[in-house]
């Protein structure tokens, strides 16, 4: 009997872990530094269930930043981030918060109750019953910030929505579009906030960041940072022209990246990428001229590929808050049933969040049009992600540049699908710019952060969609 109980307990725990890995993202840290240093003290970044650590930060170090100056941002106190993310704290932060001696008089539980143990020595901040962080007050303000100042908050809170990535001698800065102010481009230009961002970078970027190697360009093809940045510049320039729609710019980028992948390794030797990239980009413009012929935009993606695309989009449409993580078995089975319905793609789309209604799958396949204002949003999104190296290497599960960009390009059809779902949920058959902006805050929350996106299965789906030539088709189909 004892053996039976133990065995059952073992499988129950195992199954729960497997289901959690399958269905829930891992947001125990809102991001400090995307890097791969081996020695250090602080938990910084989790991928495939492993924690990476960074060395102690030397606050006196000057860090040269590569800023996406096309983007604006200031905090507008929407409190989204304090409600949706679980904040993992370091040992030092935990000690500091305990020494602040919060009590019920401050409206908080006392002592250790402000933390939840994640297993081992990992702790996160506790949440209130409505899902908000335990330190968020009724006015939507952070109690730690109000009482002890901004610098006293956990690093993850201070850094959001910025992300810092190694870029040779510099550090590339990117932003998370899960923040509505980032998506709406509201606030001060990043160029005007350089000093403040410098200060944040000094808090989180570890010493020796300039020694990190450049990500691979494609499988087995590596270049140094100088040449790697030529690819980044070429991608950025492909995405820039204001007179071309984003769908065309993405297709051209995918086209020449396919050529890069097929080119022999010595074609990427030092000093060669510049010429080679110019040639490939010209070929992309020649083969994909300004107008997409109507026959191409009406080309329906293959049924099997649409199924893969729906499975991928379901991951983007989820909402893994702490409340979801604590929903127990019923929550897990609900997600499993929803995953099966997404795979079938018939009947009603299961509402994965309260902003969605259950609507027929077919209703999302009709032409919806794309509001003109969205061109700016999309161009800005892709350029910030490219300039900030937020789609490959340590920022994206160690994927090479070519594969990472394919995955980034898929954010477009996935987000447009989610935007359609938001519109149909409100009985509309046309998209508004707000639908697309809101859908992007939903999808970008997961991209590069949820471990499922770095999994073998997800990578296999992106590879299959690319091999079958379906990514450009999906981009065109959901831009109708």
Task: Identify the CA nearest to 93 among candidates 29, 155, 27, 34.
Answer: 155
Rounded to a whole number of angstroms, the minimum distance from the CB of residue 154 to ligand SF4 is 6
Question: CA-based diameter of the chain, in Å?
Answer: 73
Closest CB 150 distance from ligand SF4, rounded Å: 9
Considering the complex, what minimum distance in angstroms separates the CB of residue 142 from ligand SF4? 3
**Binding footprint of ligand SF4, residue count (CB under 6 A):** 12
Burial class of residue 182 in the structure, from the number of CB atoms within 10 Å of its CB (0-12 exposed, 13-18 middle, 19+ buried) = buried
CB-nearer residue toward ligand SF4: 29 or 436: 29
Q: Is 97 in the site for ligand SF4 (CB under 6 A)?
A: no
Q: Of these, 29, 32, 87, 254, which contacts ligand SF4 (CB under 6 A)?
A: 87
The Cα–Cα gap between 188 and 151 comes to 21
Among 114, 157, 317, 416, binds ligand SF4 (CB under 6 A): 157
Question: Could you tell me the smallest distance in angstroms from the CB atom of residue 96 to ligand SF4?
Answer: 12
Query: Does residue number 133 form part of the binding site for ligand SF4 (CB under 6 A)?
Result: yes
Give the residue, chosen from 32, 67, 142, 474, that forms a contact with ligand SF4 under the rule CB under 6 A: 142
When the beta carbons of 67 and 82 are compared against ligand SF4, the nearer one is 82
For position 28 contacting ligand SF4 by CB under 6 A, the verdict is no
What is the footprint of ligand SF4 within residues 193-222 (CB under 6 A)? none
Q: Which is nearer to ligand SF4, 196 or 224 (CB)?
A: 196
Token digits of residue 339: 């995953």
Please identify, using beta-carbon distances, which residue of 133 and 374 lies nearer to ligand SF4: 133
Stretch binding ligand SF4 (CB under 6 A), from 142-150, 315-323, 366-374, 452-460? 142-150
Strand pairing category for 65-66 and 170-175? parallel
Taking the least distance from each CB to ligand SF4, the nearer of 156 and 216 is 156
Please report how close the Cβ of residue 57 comes to ligand SF4 at its closest, in angstroms. Answer: 19
Interface stretch with ligand SF4, choices 48-56, 141-149, 221-229, 360-368 (CB under 6 A): 141-149
Q: Is 86 in the site for ligand SF4 (CB under 6 A)?
A: no
Taking CB under 6 A as the criterion, the residue among 82, 244, 246, 248 binding ligand SF4 is 82
Residue 136 engages ligand SF4 in binding (rule: CB under 6 A): yes
Q: 198 burial class (0-12, 13-18, 19+ CB within 10 angstroms)?
A: middle
Q: By CB under 6 A, tell whether 94 contacts ligand SF4.
A: no
The answer to whether 135 contacts ligand SF4 (rule: CB under 6 A) is yes
Sole binder of ligand SF4 in the list 37, 66, 153, 249 (CB under 6 A): 153
Residue 175 C-beta: closest distance to ligand SF4, Å = 17
Window of 112-120, 151-159, 324-332, 429-437 that interacts with ligand SF4 by CB under 6 A = 151-159
Q: Which two tokens stand for residue 373?
A: 């204002």
Angle at CA of residue 20, ends 436 and 355, nearest 5°? 25
CA distance 291 to 297: 10
Nearest one of 312, 299, 236, 262 to 465, comparing CA atoms:
312
Among 52, 54, 144, 305, binds ligand SF4 (CB under 6 A): 144
As a residue count, the chain comes to 480
Torsion over CA: 401, 406, 412, 414 (sign): negative
Least separation in angstroms between CB 83 and ligand SF4: 8
Report the interface residues with ligand SF4, using CB under 6 A: 82, 87, 125, 133, 135-136, 142, 144-145, 153-154, 157
């Amino acid at each position: 009997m004892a053996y039976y109980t133990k065995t059952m307990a073992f499988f129950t725990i195992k199954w729960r872990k497997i289901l959690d890995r399958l269905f829930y993202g891992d947001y125990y840290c809102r991001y400090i530094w995307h890097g791969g240093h081996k020695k250090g003290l602080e938990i910084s970044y989790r991928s495939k269930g492993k924690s990476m650590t960074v060395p102690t930060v030397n606050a006196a170090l000057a860090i040269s930043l590569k800023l996406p100056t096309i983007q604006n941002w200031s905090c507008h106190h929407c409190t989204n981030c304090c409600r949706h993310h679980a904040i993992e704290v370091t040992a030092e932060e935990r000690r500091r918060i305990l020494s602040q001696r919060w009590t019920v008089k401050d409206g908080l539980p006392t002592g250790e109750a402000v933390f939840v143990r994640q297993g081992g020595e990992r702790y996160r901040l506790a949440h209130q019953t409505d899902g908000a962080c335990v330190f968020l007050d009724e006015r939507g303000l952070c109690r730690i910030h109000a009482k002890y100042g901004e610098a006293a908050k956990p690093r993850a809170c201070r850094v959001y929505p910025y992300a810092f990535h190694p870029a040779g001698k510099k550090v590339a800065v990117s932003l998370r579009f899960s923040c509505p102010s980032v998506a709406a481009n509201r606030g001060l230009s990043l160029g005007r906030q350089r000093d403040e961002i410098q200060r944040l970078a000094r808090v989180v970027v570890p010493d020796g960041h300039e020694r990190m190697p450049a990500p691979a360009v494609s499988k087995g093809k590596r270049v140094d940072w100088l040449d790697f940045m030529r690819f980044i510049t070429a991608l950025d320039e492909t995405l820039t022209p204001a007179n071309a729609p984003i769908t065309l710019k993405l297709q051209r980028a995918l086209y020449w990246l396919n050529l890069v992948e097929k080119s022999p390794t010595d074609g990427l030797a030092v000093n060669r990428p510049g010429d080679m990239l110019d040639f490939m980009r010209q070929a992309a413009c020649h083969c994909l001229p300004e107008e997409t012929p109507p026959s191409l935009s009406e080309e329906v993606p293959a049924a099997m590929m649409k199924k893969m695309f729906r499975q991928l989009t379901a991951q983007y449409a989820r909402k893994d808050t702490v409340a979801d993580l604590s929903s127990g078995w019923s929550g897990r089975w609900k997600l499993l049933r929803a995953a099966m319905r997404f795979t079938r793609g018939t009947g009603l789309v299961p509402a994965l969040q309260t902003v969605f209604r259950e609507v027929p799958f077919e209703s999302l396949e009709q032409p919806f049009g794309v509001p003109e204002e969205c061109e700016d949003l999309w161009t800005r999104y892709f350029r910030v992600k490219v300039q900030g190296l937020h789609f490959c290497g340590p920022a994206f599960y160690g994927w090479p540049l070519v594969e990472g960009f394919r995955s980034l390009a898929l954010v477009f059809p996935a987000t447009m699908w989610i935007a359609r779902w938001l519109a149909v949920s409100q009985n509309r058959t046309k998209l508004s710019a707000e639908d697309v902006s809101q859908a992007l805050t939903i999808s970008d929350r997961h991209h590069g952060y949820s471990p499922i996106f770095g999994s073998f299965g997800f990578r296999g789906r992106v590879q299959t969609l690319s091999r079958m030539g379906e990514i450009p088709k999906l981009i065109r189909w959901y831009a109708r």
